[in-house]
Amino acid sequence: MCKTVLDKSLYRFDELEPSYWEATVSRPREETLRQVVSTDVAIIGGGFSGCSAALHLARDHGIHSTVLEAGRVGWGASGRNGGFVNIPASKLSVAQLVRRFGFDETKRFFAASVEASKLPKSLAAEEGFDIQPQGRGWYTVAHHPNRMSKLRNYADILRDSFGIPCRILDAQEFRQEVHGGVETYGGMHMDVGYALHPLAYCLGLAESARRRGASLYSASPVIKWQREGKKHRLITPGGSVLADQVIIATNGYTSDSLHPLISGRILPAISNILVTRPLTPAEISRQHWPSEAPVINTRTLVYYYRMLPDRRILFGARGDVSGDVRSMEAIRARMSSEFYRIFPHLTGTTFDYFWRGVVALSQKLTPSVGQLEEDSTVYYALGYQANGVATAPYAGKLVADAIGTKRPVAAPLPMAGLPAKFLIPSARPLALASAYAWYRFKDWYQDRKA
């Protein structure tokens, strides 16, 4: 049933990704569905969105849910990301958001995003699990001097119009406070968010949901979905679930054959991560890296990086559009040479981990959280535009609250509603390749200007 856009190697649900995160957690035993069960709400996908929905349904509304996960809990992007709790989950500029949704709804969107950023720490405290938080807020670094004016404007708008605490740093302040290296021409600090261990967070959500009565099944992909009167039957290789309502929480891994109304609407894109070996205190001091907060640069195709608790550096980038072995090796080589170029004092440092995963972009360029107009018993929470650590669990909560209160999903307009279907869904890889080529050209052209 899995109809995918990217290379098949990205959908090996039976293999765990050899990531730093997998190497630094202990997974509890997980069960596979081998029987026929009934539930109030079936949830497809055991990542942040699905596990948070299950937890909030059980804890806040006393509603039983059954999570069906094709791989293991957190197998998808939730267990493989950079762990940056940063906002907003949008590829639209503030001006575009305001033009499209109006000022008040944009303000609601930013307020919801700030609320979302607080969720990991509050859930971890309430439910008693560890997300290994690091740093305070996050930084955007100007990789070229001419990006500073845009950052200044952005900080002013966020602060003055939306009440988001932002601070501008000049080049010297940035290098002093965050890290040294080339392409550090100043930056912006947003005092919202932090870094965390994403897989520990996802497993924490899953275990809390289970403890509060939800059922979770791993290695249980939904391979067929049929209607039985008012109910839904979701069929897996080992059994089936009969449910009153369904939540689609499959994000970048959404198969085009899962549901006709979701088909062709998500643009899956690959994100890649390299992690160095632990650095010595001498290396850290040579490179000068005092900060534990996450950093993203101002390229259109961003680089993102952070210091990990055991003094490794995690370095992430996008750019591979197919996912086959050749392009994976090419992006890996490009990332390591870019890493050495940006952090010259770390040239030659070996990498202990490389992995990748799939994020969900869409033509809407903002998340999609809601209820199908054509079938009000089906909810969806997806399309976080590669920014779901804060927003995906929040979206899961919004959907759970809508089901629990029998009210419409209370998402601000930028987060509401499905994205448009791609005109030619099979041309999505080509569309992404063209977009990436355009982004590279745009960055190259802007970098040439003074």
Binder to ligand FAD among 44, 63, 92, 302 (CB under 6 A)?
44
Judged by CB under 6 A, the residue of 10, 43, 57, 70 near ligand FAD is: 70
- Report in angstroms how near the CB of residue 450 gets to ligand FAD at its nearest: 32
x-marked contacts with ligand FAD along 214-233 as a string, rule CB under 6 A? -------xx-----------
CB of 51 to ligand FAD, least distance (A): 7
Site for ligand FAD in 294-323 (CB under 6 A): 316
Tell me the closest approach of the beta carbon of residue 314 to ligand FAD, in angstroms.
Answer: 9
Q: Label residue 333 exposed, middle or buried (CB < 10 Å: 0-12, 13-18, 19+).
A: exposed
SS3 of the chain: CCCCCCCHHHHCCCCCCCCHHHHCCCCCCCCCCCCEEEEEEEEECCCHHHHHHHHHHHHHHCCCEEEECCCCCCCCHHHCCCCEECCCCCCCCHHHHHHHHCHHHHHHHHHHHHHHHHHHHHHHHHHCCCCCCECCCEEEECCCHHHHHHHHHHHHHHHHHHCCCEEEECHHHHHHHCCCCCCCCCEEEECCCEECCHHHHHHHHHHHHHHCCCEEECCCCCCEEEEECCEEEEECCCCEEEEEEEEECCHHHCCCCCCCCCCCCCEEEEEEEEEECCCCHHHHHHHCCCCCCCEEECCCCCEEEEECCCCCEEEEEECCCCCCHHHHHHHHHHHHHHHHHHCHHHCCCCEEEEEEEEEEECCCCCCEEEECCCCCCEEEEECCCCCHHHHHHHHHHHHHHHHHHCCCCCCCHHHECCCCCCCCHHHHHHHHHHHHHHHHHHHHHHHHCC
Q: How far is the CB of 110 from ligand FAD (least distance, A)?
A: 15
Which window, 101-109, 139-147, 167-175, 352-360, contacts ligand FAD (CB under 6 A)?
A: 352-360
Report, in Å, the least distance between residue 254 CB and ligand FAD.
6
Instruction: Determine which residue in the list 4, 7, 13, 363 makes contact with ligand FAD, applying CB under 6 A.
Output: 13
- Which of 22, 42, 49, 256 binds ligand FAD (CB under 6 A)? It is 49
- The yes or no reply on residue 252 touching ligand FAD (CB under 6 A) is yes
User: Does 135 sit near ligand FAD (CB under 6 A)?
Assistant: no
At its nearest, how many Å lie between ligand FAD and the CB of residue 175? 23
- Using CB under 6 A, which of the segments 23-31, 47-55, 336-344, 412-420 binds ligand FAD? 47-55
- Confirm or reject binding of residue 267 to ligand FAD (CB under 6 A): no
Cβ neighbours for 29, distance < 8 A, ≥ 6 positions apart:
none
Which of 76, 135, 204, 268 is in the footprint of ligand FAD by CB under 6 A?
Answer: 76
AA letter at 422: F
Instruction: Find the shortest distance in angstroms from Cβ 169 to ligand FAD.
Output: 21
Site size for ligand FAD (CB under 6 A): 46
What's the full length of the chain, in residues?
Answer: 450
The interface with ligand FAD within residues 383-442 (CB under 6 A) comprises 384, 386-390, 392
- Among the listed residues 39, 81, 215, 297, the single contact to ligand FAD using CB under 6 A: 81
* Nearest position to ligand FAD, beta carbon: 388
| Smallest separation, CB 50 to ligand FAD (Å) | 6
Element (H, E) at 209: helix 198-211
Give yes or no for residue 21 binding ligand FAD (CB under 6 A).
Answer: no
Q: How far is the CB of 283 from ligand FAD (least distance, A)?
A: 24
Q: Can you give the binding site for ligand FAD, defined by CB under 6 A? A: 13, 44-50, 68-71, 75-78, 80-84, 86, 221-222, 249-253, 255, 258, 271, 273, 316, 356-359, 382, 384, 386-390, 392
